[in-house]
Amino acid sequence: GAVVSQHPSRVICKSGTSVKIECRSLDFQATTMFWYRQFPKKSLMLMATSNEGSKATYEQGVEKDKFLINHASLTLSTLTVTSAHPEDSSFYICSARDQNELFFGSGTQLSVL
């Protein structure tokens, strides 16, 4: 199947700093990528849809200025958590669609101290 690479796998940062997470489709082009957030023992919640060359579409309740998404190429989307606070600590996962199937990155565990 298709491969989606996500980096870093783990980030620990101080409150107030910004963190960038990268999501790459390695063997296919993805005009659309998706960013999810997962709390411990909870399911995945879609945060936003990242569109290559245009603005991201955010789900209701997700702060656009807090979670900046850039999709500058057909193989790369980035999620920047700006001015991170402890409540932003979570597991973030990206995904991309290849043909009719959804493939996921390995996730990023963000811990904000």
Partner 1 sequence: KQEVTQIPAALSVPEGENLVLNCSFTDSAIYNLQWFRQDPGKGLTSLLLIQSSQREQTSGRLNASLDKSSGRSTLYIAASQPGDSATYLCAVEPGTYKYIFGTGTRLKVLA
* Site of interaction with partner 1 (CB under 8 A): 1, 4, 6, 32, 34, 42-46, 49, 91, 93, 95, 97, 100-107, 109
Report the C-alpha gap between 106 and 6 in whole angstroms: 6
Return the percent helix, strand and coil in the chain, to nearest 5. 5, 55, 40
Q: How far is the CB of 44 from partner 1 (least distance, A)?
A: 5
> Is 5 or 70 the residue whose CB approaches partner 1 more closely?
5
Q: How far is the CB of 95 from partner 1 (least distance, A)?
A: 8
The contacts of residue 59 (CB under 8 Å, 6+ apart) are 45, 46, 47, 48
Report the C-alpha gap between 110 and 72 in whole angstroms: 23
> Is 82 or 98 the residue whose CB approaches partner 1 more closely?
98
Q: How far is the CB of 84 from partner 1 (least distance, A)?
A: 19
